Amino acid sequence: MGREMRINSSTTVIVTGGSKGIGKGIAKAFAAKGAQVHTVSRSRPEGIDDEMLNTGASSHRFWPVDLTTYEGAKGFFDAFSSEVGTPDVLINNAGQLTGGLLEEQPPEKIFSMLQVNLTTLILLTRFFLPAMLERRSGKIVNNASVSGKMFFPCASTYAASKAGVVGFTESLKQELRDTGVSTLLLITAGVKTEMYDEIHDLYGGHLDLDFLKSIPVAEWSEKVLEAIESDQDTLWPPGSSRVGVNLAHHLPGVFEGFISKKFHR
């Protein structure tokens, strides 16, 4: 960890996937601190400008970007750098969910998910990092998941993307030591969003999900904001989700035994 960050009206933050769910919750948490908020998503949600400004943002701009393509990511970086500059905080939150038995997952959805969850996350970090390093300040926040640490059946492709986010962020953290730029890895647990509700549709046919628990978006968003302000490098999930992550890491055989009883073809 390095310097603590005071979020105020001079703080510029980018939140990808900021039109709904966790991303919107984090954007609103920044808005409540008076930050200059930039949300990125494929389509503009109705009333998002008013919602962010009424929450307290000193300014808000929505950027319509297709994050499944290189051209979308590079075009956004070029436009933002030219028109705004360098963000103080880059939150790589945009994500898609895949699930089910691998042989039943649509290949085009796997490809799209990997592009958004991992490839574009890496690219946006790569694009914005040089200016942050030159300025010697910045925070890069990458949203992984407990699925990047806990490997469930029916989550093969999604877990691959999130394990990639974990590996990328942990490696980058080492590279950035003493540069003034730091990372925050979000080991996000079940947060009550539309995507969370999709888990039951995608996984429930082969996996008993009675062990799943969720927390409200606002609660997790406040934890993310606190972790950024105190310059933490990892935000772990609360409660039983943290226990599950520890179990999967330290006692993988016990974890696999538990999960195997929940799975059926």
- Secondary structure class of 216 (helix, strand, coil): coil
Contacts of 161 (CB under 8 A, 6+ apart): 95, 113, 114, 117, 118
Q: Which two tokens stand for residue 210?
A: 């009675």
Per-position b or e across 151-173, b if 16+ CB within 10 A of its CB: bbbbbbbbbbbbbbbbebbeebb
d(CA 37, CA 93) in angstroms, rounded, equals: 14
> Could you say which of 70, 158, 196, 203 is catalytic?
158
As a three-state string, the secondary structure of 171-224 is: HHHHHCCCCCEEEEEECCCCECCHHHHHHHHHHCCCECCCCCCCECHHHHHHHH
Cα distances from 29 to residues 23, 39, 222, 225, in angstroms, run 10, 13, 6, 7
Q: Determine the distance from the C-alpha atom of residue 22 to the mean position of all C-alpha atoms in its chain, rounded to a whole number.
A: 8
Catalytic, 203? Answer no
d(CA 184, CA 200): 29
Which residues are the active-site residues?
158
